Amino acid sequence: MASPLTKKILIVEDEHDILQLVKLYLEKEGFRTVLAKTGMEGLRQVKQEKPDLIVLDLMLPEIDGIEVCTRLRSAPETARLPIIMLTAKAEESDTIIGLELGADDYVIKPFSPKTLVARIKALFRRLERKPDDGPALYRYGNLIMDLARHEVTVNKIEALLTAKEFGLLEHLLRNPGRVLTREVLLNSVWGYDYYGTTRTVDVHIRRLKQKLPLLSDAIMSVKSLGYKLKELDRST
């Protein structure tokens, strides 16, 4: 795994104390940081600094974190940029909106800086993991997942998946026909003991189906348990 020193994290937060606290903890772990206090400044910093990950507050001046996330996900060059959202609102609707727009994870204020650091590291670990514990290539009909290149194509056209969407798809492709509970998917894909809602998995599965229509019926919901990927016929 690459040294944290090579990783640059953009923190977009308008509350000065929180901004400086997150900066302090990240730099103590060896990460480089770039700061922004408004949504527009955050977008400018993304273009100028090209960060490896964004810690993005939901409530921001000028344009909020939801709009920032929307713009980043709609541009091909930032469609897969890892995003962790910060929100002061514990209501499920706010966190679901962020996840629907493509955020990889979220942390509710007040939060422990150590928890945020752990989630950032877990996200980087998944992105940098070598495909050494299974096939490097998975096929499902016209879909091909190349773990070495971190790429998914359908009919040779690349699908732009976020880190968590990619991780979920990989786990489903590794276990065709098996029921995977939401808890198993959270622990396997998010990479830590998750304290948030299991709706996180539901939202990411829904986005995966939207981006990959051929999986719309193939990823089956198992009531009260989780999901399974329908096994293809051998002749398919």
pTM, to two decimals: 0.73
Least confident stretch, 9-18, 75-84, 191-200, 204-213: 191-200
Q: Which fold has domain 4-128?
A: Rossmann fold (3.40.50)
Q: Does residue 135 have a pLDDT over 70?
A: no
pLDDT recorded at residue 192: 57
Distance CA 148, CA 62 (A): 40
Nearest to 168, CA basis, from 153, 185, 143: 185
Q: Which residue has the higher pLDDT, 231 or 126?
A: 231
pLDDT tens, residue by residue, 13-49: 999 999 999 999 999 999 999 999 999 999 999 999 9
Q: Which residues touch 111 (CB under 8 Å, ≥6 apart)?
A: 86
Residue 217 CA: distances (Å) to CA of 100, 127, 144, 231: 20, 27, 17, 11
Average confidence (pLDDT) over 62-91: 88
Residues 6+ apart with CB under 8 A from 44: 36
Average pLDDT over residues 6-12: 95
Give residue limits of the domains in the chain.
4-128, 137-229
Segment 167-195 mean pLDDT: 83
Please give the mean pLDDT across all residues of the chain.
87
- Structural fold of domain 137-229: Arc Repressor Mutant, subunit A (1.10.10)
Collapsing DSSP states into helix, strand and coil, what is residue 125? helix
Among 32-46, 98-112, 121-135, name the one with the lowest average pLDDT. 121-135
